[in-house]
């Protein structure tokens, strides 16, 4: 569960 949240956060940073 936590990994999913971190993955989404990283994806958002990369999408910046």
> Residue 5: what pLDDT?
98
pLDDT digits (tens, 9 = 90+) for 1-16: 899 999 999 999 999 8
> Is the C-alpha dihedral spanning 7, 12, 15, 16 positive or negative?
negative
CA distance 2 to 16: 21
Indicate the SS3 state at residue 16. coil
> Residue 1: what pLDDT?
84
CA 12 centroid distance within chain: 6
Q: What does the block give as tokens for 16?
A: 């910046």
Residue corresponding to tokens 């956060």: 9
Residue 5 is given by DSSP the state H
């Amino acid at each position: 569960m936590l990994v999913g949240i971190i993955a989404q956060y990283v994806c958002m940073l990369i999408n910046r």
